[in-house]
């Protein structure tokens, strides 16, 4: 029901008007002053307000201005006996919708009210449409920007061509792959863009004709660009009338996947060997006893059984390290809940652990830790594993009566841990494989040193998964230096 | 009683070697062990073993092969049976099944065994090879 507020200081006028309107079924309220009117308008919405130009407290224009600033959406009609052009202009400026000059007949009044309610209705519908439209446009803009950000950020390289075989879209990955700016690619003929080998095969893939109704057809190929292997896929997209509007080429870099697929059998073969050799030795050692090769007495067999026992210990150790490797690979990123490590404390704990081994090999250890270092962004346990591997290696591959130097300092915003030994060193040609699983240098100097070749592989993974780096410098016969750089917490 | 046969092992696993000393020693063999390829050729020609058991992979993947071939190049050693152990057959990717014949021919290898091998298995092959050798010697 349309609600109307009648504002007039003359009792006769306002009650006359309200009677006429109520008879016609309108909901009417009355106000005698401007302030009374504003109070009512603040309390509830009105569709229409009939305003007398002359009010005792406020003039009609001031009231209109107050209403306008309140953004009520109420349609307004000025009732005045003194209509002149200046008043009209002023009132129009304040957003008046209609004028009703006094005196007026009930029909005049009802006609005005009818006009105003229709206007109000239209205005509301228009507003509703505008809002809907705006929401749609916003949604559309969001969707479009989402789609283009999505395409832009794809790791796969994407190239879209139109029916004229011109590039209409190339994402960052594609422009990087082609070595051209994305803007430079748009509108370029695809045969020019993919002209040279090894990409020329893709142009052919893009121009191959679709089969009849082959909407779902997808063409696949594999190609090598530089040292990377890519999986190429071409799909056509169709308009409402059918027929291809263009084609989308996607190139996925599958190098790492392939590499992993190739690494796996190699890893398993090496692992099998690492288990088979000690098993063979253990079997032979036990067989000496089971075959009673040394007579009926038990005593001569004990050294053989002890040897077997030691080999079993080594195998158990190997299993433990293999499990930590696979756990690190599974976790991928370090546990965020791990408290950041205090390097100084971890270094002290590690050096403590190796006191006996250092003494046994008469290695003099020196530890230098810069003061006021921040905590490191790595779990305490992981840091201890790293330190213990590096210090353990420095002792194992160090020389008797030699030295071990462990330094921790903040350099270029990174926490650097250096472990240096004065040991047998590493051959330059072996440095690239040093961090590979199971890699061990086979030299006469290393054959009596225990190890399964997993320690440094574990260290590297632990360091890299927290965004750190590990480097090694070594001089054969002089010694090695391992440098781990970690981010401060 | 005949002189005890001399068996020479070349293997970098010292526990395996220690076990062979006891196992074959307990069965009346004179056992010599070498734990590295370096200097092995010289020792072998000094020791003049009746049979050699050679581990395929020691310091390098091909150490065993090369040593085997070089033993054969010594005219004095041409008739000594060589038993090759290949604990690393699958590790190095060598397909002994398919290539064993060619390989045996290349080294003039007498037998090929996969590690881990039991002493009994090894003993059986060793006795067999020594028996053949004796037959050849008698026939010759």
User: Taking CB atoms and an 8 Å limit, are A281 and B13 in contact across chains?
Assistant: yes
Residue A93 has pLDDT above 70, yes or no: yes
Does residue A438 surpass a pLDDT of 80?
yes
Among A253, A284, A301, the domain-final residue is: A253
Angle of the A60-69 helix axis to the A34-43 helix axis, nearest 10 = 20
Structure confidence at residue A283 as a pLDDT band (50, 70, 90): very high
Domain identity same for A168 and A98? no
Averaged over A456-472, what is the pLDDT?
94
Q: What is the mean pLDDT of residues A464-476?
A: 94
Distance in angstroms (rounded) separating the CA atoms of residues A449 and A442: 10
Q: Does B115 touch chain A (CB under 8 A)?
A: yes
pLDDT score of A72: 82
The total domain count for chain A is 4
User: Under an 8 A CB cutoff, do A276 and B115 touch?
Assistant: yes
- Mean pLDDT for the stretch of residues B51-57: 86
What is the pLDDT confidence band of residue B103, given thresholds at 50, 70 and 90? low
Closest CA to B10 of B29, B23, B51, B27: B51
Q: What is the CATH number of the domain that holds A287?
A: 1.10.287.130
Q: If you measure CA to CA, which chain A residue comes closest to B24?
A: A293
| CB < 8 Å to A292, chain B | 26
CB A77 within 8 A of CB A5: no
Domains of chain B, by residue range, sit at 6-139
3-state secondary structure of A72: coil
| Cβ pairs A/B, distance under 8 A | 86
The two beta strands, B6-10 and A479-486, are: unpaired
The CATH number covering residue A450 comes to: 3.30.565.10
In A, which residues are within 8 Å of B16 by CB distance? 280-281, 284
Q: Is residue A147 part of a domain?
A: no
Q: Is the pLDDT of residue B105 over 50?
A: yes
Interface check for B76 against chain A (CB to CB < 8 A): the answer is no
Residues sharing a CB contact under 8 Å with residue A74, sequence separation 6 or more, in sequence order: A5, A41, A45, A46, A47, A48, A49, A67
* Contact at CB, A444 and B36, closer than 8 angstroms: yes
Contacts of A294 in chain B (CB under 8 A): 22, 26
Mean pLDDT of A344-370: 95
State the best of A278, A279, A280 to mutate against chain B, taking most chain B CBs within 10 Å. Answer: A280
Using CA atoms, how far residue A463 sits from A25, A331, A379, B133, in Å, is: 82, 13, 10, 59
Residue A201 confidence (pLDDT): 78
- What is the reported pLDDT for B7? 97
If you average pLDDT over residues A278-297, what whole number do you get?
92
Judged against a pLDDT cut of 90, whether residue A302 lies above it is answered with yes
Least confident of A238-242, A257-261, A469-473: A238-242
- Print the domain residue range for A172: 154-253
- Last-in-domain residue among A310, A331, A352: A331
A369 & A463 share domain: yes
Residue A482 confidence (pLDDT): 97
Determine, for residues A292 and B26 on separate chains, whether the beta-carbon distance falls below 8 Å.
yes
Cβ(B15)–Cβ(A285) below 8 Å: yes
* Lowest-pLDDT choice from A76-85, A219-228, B96-105: B96-105
Nearest residue, CB atoms, A304 vs list B19, B59, B87: B19
Please answer yes or no on whether B119 and A287 come within 8 Å at the CB atom.
yes
Residues A167 and A305 in one domain: no
State the pLDDT at residue A415: 94
CATH architecture of B6-139: 3-Layer(aba) Sandwich (3.40)
Give percent of chain A above pLDDT 70.
96
Interface contact B39, partner A, CB < 8 A:
no
Min Cα separation B97/chain A (Å): 17
Within this chain, do residues A362 and A460 fall inside the same structural domain, yes or no? yes
Distance CA A440, CA A430 (A): 9
Q: Are B119 and A294 an interchain contact pair (Cβ–Cβ within 8 Å)?
A: no
Q: Which residues contact A413 (CB under 8 A, 6 or more apart)?
A: A488
Q: Is the separation of the CB atoms in A386 and A350 below 8 Å?
A: no
The reply to whether A399 and A461 lie within a common domain is yes
Q: What is the mean pLDDT of chain B?
A: 80
More confident residue, A338 or A149: A149
pLDDT at position A210 over 70: no
Query: What's the CA gap between A349 and A418, in Å, rounded?
Result: 16
Looking at residues B10-19, what average pLDDT do you find? 92
**Mutation for testing the B interface, residue in A281, A313, A437 having most B CBs under 10 Å:** A281
Whether residue A14 is contained in a domain is answered as: yes
Q: What pLDDT, on a 0 to 100 scale, did the predictor assign at position A310?
A: 95
What lies within 8 Å, CB to CB, of B51 at 6+ separation is: B5, B6, B7, B8, B80, B81, B82, B83, B126, B129, B130, B133
pLDDT digits (tens, 9 = 90+) for A119-128: 888 888 888 8
Q: What is the ipTM of this complex?
A: 0.82
The pLDDT assigned to B58 comes to: 62
Decide if A145 is inside a domain.
no
Q: Predicted confidence band at A276 (pLDDT cuts at 50, 70, 90)?
A: confident
State the Cα–Cα distance between residues A81 and A53, nearest whole angstrom.
8
Question: Is A146 within a domain?
Answer: no
Best of B89, B91, B114 to disrupt the A interface by mutation (most A CBs within 10 Å)?
Answer: B91
Structure confidence at residue A206 (pLDDT):
79
Asked if A107 and A210 sit in the same domain, the reply is: no
End residue of a domain, out of A79, A112, A127: A127
Q: Does A138 fall in a domain?
A: no
What pLDDT, in 10s, does the model give residues A158-206? 888 888 888 888 888 888 888 888 788 888 888 888 877 677 778 777 7
Q: How confident is the model at residue A55 (pLDDT cuts 50, 70, 90)?
A: confident
Instruction: Provide, as residue numbers in chain B, all residues whose Cβ is less than 8 Å from the Cβ of A290.
Output: none
Contact assignment for A287 to B120 by CB distance below 8 Å: yes
* pLDDT-wise least confident of A3-7, A144-148, A482-486, B44-48: A144-148
In terms of domains, do A93 and A19 share one?
yes
Partner residue opposite A281 with nearest CB, options B16, B23, B25: B16
B19: which 2 tokens? Answer: 């076990």
- Are A273 and A207 found together in one domain? no
Global confidence as pTM: 0.61
pLDDT, tens digit (0-9, with 9 covering 90-100), for A380-428: 899 999 999 999 999 999 999 999 999 999 999 999 999 999 999 999 9
> Residue B90: its pLDDT value, please?
43
Mean pLDDT across the stretch A468-488?
A: 95
Interface touch B15/A311, C-beta < 8 Å: yes
Q: The domain that contains A20 carries what CATH number?
A: 3.40.50.2300
**pLDDT score recorded for residue A334:** 60
Higher local confidence (pLDDT), A61 or A402: A402
Spatial neighbors of A100 by CB under 8 A, at least 6 apart, are A50, A77, A78, A79, A80, A108, A109, A112
- The reported pLDDT for the residue numbered A477 is 92
Averaged confidence pLDDT in chain A: 87
Q: B88, B56 in Cβ contact below 8 A?
A: yes
Q: Could you tell me if residue A204 is inside a domain?
A: yes
Do residues A40 and A166 both lie within one domain? no
């Amino acid at each position: 029901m349309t609600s109307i507020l009648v504002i007039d200081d003359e009792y006769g006028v306002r009650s006359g008007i309200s009677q006429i309107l109520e008879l016609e079924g309108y909901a009417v309220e009355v106000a005698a002053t401007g302030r009374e009117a504003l109070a009512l308008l603040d309390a509830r919405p009105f569709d229409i307000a009939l305003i007398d130009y002359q009010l005792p407290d406020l003039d009609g224009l001031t009231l209109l201005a107050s209403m306008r600033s309140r953004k009520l959406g109420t349609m307004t009609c000025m009732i005045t006996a003194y209509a002149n052009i200046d008043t009209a202009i002023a009132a129009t400026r304040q957003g008046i919708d209609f004028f009703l000059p006094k005196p007026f007949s009930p029909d005049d009044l009802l006609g005005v009210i009818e006009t105003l309610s229709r206007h109000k209705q239209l205005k509301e519908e228009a507003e509703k449409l505008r809002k809907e439209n705006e929401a749609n446009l916003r949604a559309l803009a969001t969707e479009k920007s989402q789609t283009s950000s999505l395409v832009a950020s794809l790791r796969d390289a994407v190239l879209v061509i139109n029916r004229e075989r011109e590039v209409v879209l190339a994402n960052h990955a594609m422009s990087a792959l082609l070595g051209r700016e994305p803007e430079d690619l748009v509108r370029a003929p695809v045969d020019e863009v993919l002209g040279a080998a090894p990409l020329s095969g893709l142009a052919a893939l893009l121009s191959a004709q679709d089969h009849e109704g082959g909407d779902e057809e997808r063409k696949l190929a594999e190609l090598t660009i530089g040292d990377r292997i890519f999986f190429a896929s071409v799909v056509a997209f169709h308009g409402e009338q059918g027929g291809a509007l263009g084609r989308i080429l996607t190139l996925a870099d599958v190098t790492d996947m392939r590499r992993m697929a190739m690494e796996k059998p190699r890893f398993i073969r090496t692992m099998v060997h690492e288990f088979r050799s000690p098993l063979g030795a253990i079997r032979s050692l036990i067989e000496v006893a089971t075959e009673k090769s040394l007579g009926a007495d038990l005593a001569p067999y004990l050294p053989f059984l002890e040897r077997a026992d030691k080999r079993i210990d080594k195998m158990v150790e190997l299993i433990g390290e293999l499990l930590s490797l696979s756990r690190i690979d599974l976790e991928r990123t370090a546990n965020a809940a791990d408290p950041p490590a205090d390097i100084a404390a971890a270094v002290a704990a590690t050096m403590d652990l190796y006191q006996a081994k250092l003494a046994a090999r008469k290695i003099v250890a020196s530890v230098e830790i810069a003061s006021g270092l921040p905590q490191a962004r790595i779990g305490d346990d992981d840091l201890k594993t790293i330190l213990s591997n590096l210090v353990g290696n420095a002792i194992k591959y160090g020389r008797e009566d030699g030295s071990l130097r462990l330094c921790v300092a903040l350099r270029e915003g990174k926490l650097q841990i250096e472990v240096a030994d004065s040991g047998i060193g590493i051959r330059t040609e072996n440095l690239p494989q040093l961090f590979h699983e199971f890699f061990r240098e086979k030299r006469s100097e290393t054959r009596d040193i225990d190890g399964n070749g997993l320690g440094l592989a574990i260290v590297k993974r632990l360091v890299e998964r927290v965004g750190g780096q590990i480097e090694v410098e070594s001089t054969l016969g002089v010694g090695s230096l391992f440098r781990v750089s970690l981010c401060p917490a | 009683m005949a002189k005890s046969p001399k068996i020479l092992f070349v293997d970098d696993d010292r526990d395996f070697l220690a076990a062979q000393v006891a196992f074959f020693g307990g069965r009346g063999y004179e056992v010599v062990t070498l734990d590295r390829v370096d200097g092995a050729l010289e020792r072998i020609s000094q020791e003049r073993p009746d049979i050699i058991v050679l581990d395929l992979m020691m310091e390098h993947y091909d150490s065993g092969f090369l040593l085997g071939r070089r033993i054969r190049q010594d005219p004095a050693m041409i008739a000594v049976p060589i038993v090759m152990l290949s604990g690393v057959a699958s590790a190095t990717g060598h397909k002994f099944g398919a290539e064993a014949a060619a390989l045996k021919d290349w080294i003039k290898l007498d037998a090929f065994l996969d590690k881990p091998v039991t002493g009994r298995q090894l003993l059986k092959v060793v006795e067999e090879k020594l028996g053949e050798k004796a037959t050849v010697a008698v026939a010759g």
